[in-house]
Amino acid sequence: MSVELILESTPTGQFIGGEFRETGATFDVENPATGEVIAKVSDGGPDEARAAMDAACAAAESWAATEPRERAEILHRAYELIVERAETFATLMTLEMGKPLKEAHGEVTYGAEFLRWFAEEAVRIDGRWSVAPSGGNRFLIMKQPVGPVYAITPWNFPLAMGTRKIGPALAAGCTVVIKPAKLTPLTMLALMQVFADAGVPAGVVNCIVGSSSSELSEPIFADPRLRKLTFTGSTEVGRGLLEQAAPHVLRTSMELGGNAPFVLLADADLDVAVSAAMAAKFRNNGEACTAANRFFVHKDLVGEFQARFTAEVEGLVLGNGLDEGTTLGPLVDDDTLTKVTELVDDAVAKGARVLTGGKRGDGPGHFMQATVLADVSRDARVLKEEIFGPVAPIIPVDSDEEALELANDTEFGLISYVITRDVSRAITTAEKFESGIVALNTGVVSNPAAPFGGVKQSGLGREGSHEGVEEYLETKYVGIAL
């Protein structure tokens, strides 16, 4: 299908109570590779937010009472429809977010898999029965849907961050109002069409889109019927949302920012290290919460690692993600590009050497060259802040112990990477990392069947795996006297 046809067939309205609704006002969605407006999307506000909450609350009781097998089958149909529409979803993501088309196809597979996984989980929700330690009383422990959910997603994985929340919520028997980032609403609206076509009853999933996320969200946080907030995005915004969740003491799941260390221990295999580093740093244009942010390399390896890694980085092809051959797309917008260039300039001013890249590419798109920085000073901003761009700062270290200490010296704790050939070092290092995820001799670990999430200021709760559905369940204990 042509790009024009894909765009023409993508809904642009708010999805409320099973129907797409226009509001009269619109906002623009741009292609970050060209700066062109690719769609005008209905601009929602407080009225749409209230209507979406009403729809989600009206559907809550009957959805919670639906047979688990039926919920599973609906989710499975939605999974199949995403796979059938892979070309549409991949093209939309490349158009509105910029990632290379091949990676967008990877996200379609990854995103769809959350629905298949949670379709399988829907029929495996169980409870417990036990005897009180003193005998006599019996305990019945049951799991019930938490209730209506508000889900807020970022722009960097426009499909997968939606299915990772909607899949478990629906499996658990919860209804949802979801709000994607205004930079990437099209993918989420195409996903709403999938749910409608898969037979999800009206009101079970609703999507609101708009140019002001705070105006859209305010009536939802004020609504005492809301039971749960699930958010993926920056730590800064997440902190503010936790405050808004406090008055009604909402259940919250927070998937926040990262500052991932990538550690080469003294015995690292350099072939493994270079290939893992490429994936950990440059996947998704460097705009991933899991992106390696700081490379700590043992001093005996640093010269060879820098040379081999830089040679690989120079092989990346920067361009429009829709063009065949592009392996690095534009950054999502000009603010992101400006921040990334500022981080590079700050590091260079503090003594870093640019081994390759270092500059903004030629506009009108928001292109940043793939960059490797050597000898980065420990007070450089690039080591403290989440880069969210294709920049790899390398810091030589004297020992494995020093690497570990520096790796944990951050308020974030989402993922840590370690490269080593020694099983015992691998295990002890994994135990010492202050992060929710550890990647051992690999640059990619995200998987719907694994529990994803951070510690410290990288978040609360887990998505995916069996833990993922628990986030949408309440535990009720019934004490029984015999």
Residue 184 or 371: the one with the smaller Cβ distance to ligand NAP is 184
Question: Which region among 108-116, 146-154, 295-303, 372-380 touches ligand NAP (by CB under 6 A)?
Answer: 146-154
Is 244 in a helix, a strand, or coil?
A: helix
Token pair in block for residue 103? 């990676």
Residue 312 falls in the annotated catalytic set: no
Residue 121 falls in the annotated catalytic set: no
Single out the residue of 41, 263, 414, 419 in contact with ligand NAP (rule: CB under 6 A): 414
Q: How many residues does the chain have?
A: 482
Contact flag: residue 152 with ligand NAP (CB under 6 A):
yes
Contact flag: residue 26 with ligand NAP (CB under 6 A):
no
Diameter of the chain by CA atoms?
A: 77
Residues 37-96 that bind ligand NAP (CB under 6 A): none
- Cα-Cα-Cα-Cα torsion 269, 271, 272, 273, nearest 10 degrees, comes to 80
Helix axes 160-172, 101-122, angle to 10 degrees: 10
Residues 378-407 that bind ligand NAP (CB under 6 A): 386
Contact flag: residue 228 with ligand NAP (CB under 6 A):
no
Contact flag: residue 153 with ligand NAP (CB under 6 A):
yes
Q: Which of 427, 378, 25, 16 is nearest to 212 (CA)?
A: 25
Contact flag: residue 223 with ligand NAP (CB under 6 A):
no
Contact flag: residue 429 with ligand NAP (CB under 6 A):
no
Query: Using an 8 Å Cβ cutoff, are 469 and 121 in contact?
Result: yes
> CB of 454: closest distance to ligand NAP in angstroms?
6
* Element holding 295 (H helix, E strand): strand 292-298
Contact flag: residue 182 with ligand NAP (CB under 6 A):
yes
Token pair in block for residue 9? 């067939």
Q: DSSP labels for 410-473? A: SS--SEEEEE-S-HHHHHHHHHH--SSEEEES-S----TTS-B--SGGGEES-BSHHHHHHTTE
Question: Which region among 151-159, 169-177, 341-349, 398-406 touches ligand NAP (by CB under 6 A)?
Answer: 151-159
Contact flag: residue 155 with ligand NAP (CB under 6 A):
yes
> CB of 12: closest distance to ligand NAP in angstroms?
16
Chain centre distance of CA 159: 9
* Element holding 20 (H helix, E strand): strand 19-21
Residue 203 or 461: the one with the smaller Cβ distance to ligand NAP is 461
Contact flag: residue 214 with ligand NAP (CB under 6 A):
yes
DSSP state of 399: S
x/- mask, ligand NAP, residues 447-466, rule CB under 6 A, reads -------x----x-------
Neighbours of 246 (CB within 10 A): 11
Residue 42 or 310: the one with the smaller Cβ distance to ligand NAP is 42
Question: Which region among 31-39, 50-58, 101-109, 179-187 touches ligand NAP (by CB under 6 A)?
Answer: 179-187
Residue 9 or 214: the one with the smaller Cβ distance to ligand NAP is 214
Question: Which region among 11-19, 53-61, 210-218, 340-348 touches ligand NAP (by CB under 6 A)?
Answer: 210-218
Edge-to-edge strand list for the sheet holding 473-480: 128-131, 138-145, 473-480
Question: Which region among 34-42, 156-164, 353-361, 464-472 touches ligand NAP (by CB under 6 A)?
Answer: 156-164
Token pair in block for residue 38? 């690719």
Token pair in block for residue 294? 């700081």
Contact flag: residue 289 with ligand NAP (CB under 6 A):
yes
> CB of 27: closest distance to ligand NAP in angstroms?
10
Residue that the structure tokens 């708010």 belong to: 14
Q: DSSP labels for 70-138? A: HHHHHHHHHHHHHHHTHHHHHHHHHHHH---HHHHHHHHHHHHHHHHHHHHHHTT---EEEE-TTSS-E
Separation of alpha carbons 145 and 38, rounded Å: 39
Please tell me whether the peptide bond between 393 and the residue prior to it is cis, using omega within 30 degrees of 0.
no
Single out the residue of 232, 284, 341, 420 in contact with ligand NAP (rule: CB under 6 A): 232
Terminal Cα distance for the chain, rounded:
66
Question: Which region among 84-92, 252-260, 273-281, 365-373 touches ligand NAP (by CB under 6 A)?
Answer: 252-260
Query: Using an 8 Å Cβ cutoff, are 393 and 380 in contact?
Result: yes
Question: Which region among 68-76, 112-120, 177-185, 420-428 touches ligand NAP (by CB under 6 A)?
Answer: 177-185
Residue 173 or 286: the one with the smaller Cβ distance to ligand NAP is 286
> CB of 457: closest distance to ligand NAP in angstroms?
11
Q: Of the residues 30, 255, 386, 470, which is catalytic?
A: 255
x/- mask, ligand NAP, residues 337-376, rule CB under 6 A, reads ----------------------------------------
Number of residues that bind ligand NAP (CB under 6 A): 28
Q: Of the residues 103, 113, 289, 463, which is catalytic?
A: 289
Residue 146 or 256: the one with the smaller Cβ distance to ligand NAP is 256
Q: Which residues contact 10 (CB under 8 A, 6 or more apart)?
A: 39, 88, 92, 186, 189, 190, 193
Residues forming the active site? 255, 289
Binding site for ligand NAP (CB under 6 A): 152-157, 161, 179-182, 213-214, 217, 232-234, 237, 240, 255-258, 289, 386, 414, 454, 459
